[in-house]
Amino acid sequence: MFNWGDRTVYKNGKKIIQEHYYSHLTAKIVLIIYGVCLVLIFFYSVIQLNLAIAYRKSKRRKKLPMPHFDIENAPKVTIQLPMYNELYVAERIIESASKLSYPLDKLHIQVLDDSTDETKDIIAKKVAEIAAKGINIKHIHRTDRTGYKAGALDAAMDQVEGEFIAIFDADFVPDENFLLRTMPYFGNENIGVVQTRWGHLNKKYSLLTELQAFGLNGHFAIEQEGRNSSGHFINFNGTAGIWRKKCIEDAGGWEHDTITEDLDLSYRAQMKGWKFQYLEEVESPAELPITMSALKSQQHRWMKGGAECFIKMRRRLLTSPGVKFSDRVHGFAHLFNSTVFVFILILSILSMVILHIKDSFSDLNYFIQFGAFFLSSSVFLAFYYWTSYRDKTGKFFSDLFHFIARFIQFLTVSMALSLSNAVAVIEGYLRIKSSFVRTPKFNVAQKDEFTGNKYDKKSLSIINLAEGFFMLAFGFTAVNRLIHGDLGMVPFHLMLAIGYGVVFFSTLNEVRTKR
């Protein structure tokens, strides 16, 4: 065992403690940082628990029927399909949008195309084909990608014909009744946005997609419905939702100083007094990333954008008039969500140092007992994900067994993604600007359909190498402690070692396959 703490010597028969002052001070600082991370993760889990309880309460209330909708006097709707080099899915989303059930004279489709490859020709051909059927569809191609997706949405605003704007990313396949099930809610003049739940076209593709679906179901059930049913702020998820054009304009329009323009505009609109309606029962299927590199690219944008929005919105959220205290608390927690990965990363690294402090400083051992906070956080999060678990069969013990296995798998991989996600969050807080890197789409549901994707850039980075190092470090620590019978953190370190191993070897395998 390592020991870098106190040394005991005897002089003239008297016991004297010669303390290593600086190492003891360092140990205390480490414990304080460790404790702060534990408390902040605990606070995050308490917020998630609160949302899970709010969600369960909302399900016990009598559901109101869908508002009446006069189809004969339906307002005009513009459907915007922003895309950039979507070779594999462009035709599918254009076709799906053209088949939405709605009066043709009240339907307007804009394909917002920033493509620089053959996708633009594919889109042009498909748009011409759809237009020949009498559908009002326009192909708007930009050669200057200023503002990326937000820039494309903003540039097209002066050509919008509808009072309402439905937005779909290229990997979505909306149900043909999407507009008929969402537009009725705009009968309430205070509603600025109607957001629907994401479904998963390729959930069964692999364990990776299964775990993504597990996590996203928590967000789209508990977080969105829990916040919305309690009157707290929610966000437009960038796609599968409808905006009232007046709401966008009143909130200041699309801005591109963050890479999560959807979250940014959502908060600006709600702080202006606009209400959002979330419809969990309306599912909009989409594609999940099927490679580790694609998933990390998506996560990087979400995590960094969340941090950017926190920096941008924190003061406004604190000072905006008419916002309830509980809405401010949940709003800050929402915008601060991505930062939890920074705390998880720090906690993970310090957990190895904590073991040496435990060996070296017996007088500080009582501080280490605060690690129970992490166990409490895990229990709260388990309740949160159990509430949103969608694979229940009605057989409680069987469902519980499968849930626990899935939850452990999810935590294992999520904690291993904390390194790349934490880097993204820190970039956001440091205002380090980067381009909008869209998630590669594959248009596959089964493994035998995958033939490669030219947009899925794969190469080893310093972060990948660090993930490999952490795999070895946590693995060594777990084995070392197991040998010495100190089992307290062995499960935690084993999960980290396995998680980082999965992330590292998945990336390595993708790079080798690409070559």
Q: What is the pTM of this model?
A: 0.90
Instruction: Indicate if 188 and 271 belong to the same structural domain.
Output: yes
Distance CA 91, CA 414 (A): 33
In this predicted structure, the answer to whether residue 222 has a pLDDT above a threshold of 90 is: yes
Q: Is residue 40 located within the same domain as residue 111? A: no
Residue 223 and residue 261 share a domain: yes
**Do 425 and 360 belong to one domain?**
yes
Backbone angles phi and psi of 420, in degrees to 5: -65, -35
Is 80 exceeded by the pLDDT of residue 9?
no
**Closest C-alpha to 228, from 339, 327, 329:** 327
Residue 112 inside a domain? The answer is yes
Q: Are residues 221 and 143 in the same domain?
A: yes
Q: What is the mean pLDDT of residues 366-382?
A: 80
Sorted by sequence, the CB contacts under 8 Å of residue 364 that are 6+ apart come out as 27, 28, 31, 357
The answer to whether residue 58 scores a pLDDT higher than 70 is yes
- Answer yes or no: is 347 within a domain: yes
Is 495 a member of any domain? Answer: yes
**Co-location of 104 and 156 in the same domain:** yes
Where does the pLDDT of residue 456 fall: very low under 50, low under 70, confident under 90, or very high at 90 and above?
low
Over residues 249-276, mean pLDDT = 97
The encoded tokens of residue 234 equal: 């929610």
Plot region of 35 (φ>0 → left; ψ -120 to 50 → alpha; else → beta): alpha
The Cα angle at residue 288 between residues 193 and 245, in degrees rounded to 5: 15
181/190 Cα distance (integer angstroms): 18
Active site residues: 114, 262
Write phi, then psi, for 484 (nearest 5 degrees). Answer: -90, 5
Separation CA 306–CA 299 (nearest Å)? 10
Q: Which domain holds residue 509?
A: 7-56+339-514
Task: Indicate whether 197 and 272 sit together in one domain.
Answer: yes
**Is 132 found in the same domain as 48?**
no
Residue position matching structure tokens 């309740």? 383
Average pLDDT of the residues of the chain? 91
Q: Are residues 201 and 278 in the same domain?
A: yes
Question: Region 88-98: what's the mean pLDDT?
Answer: 96
Share of the chain above pLDDT 90, in %: 78
Burial 54-63 (b: 16+ CB within 10 A, else e): bbeeeeeeee
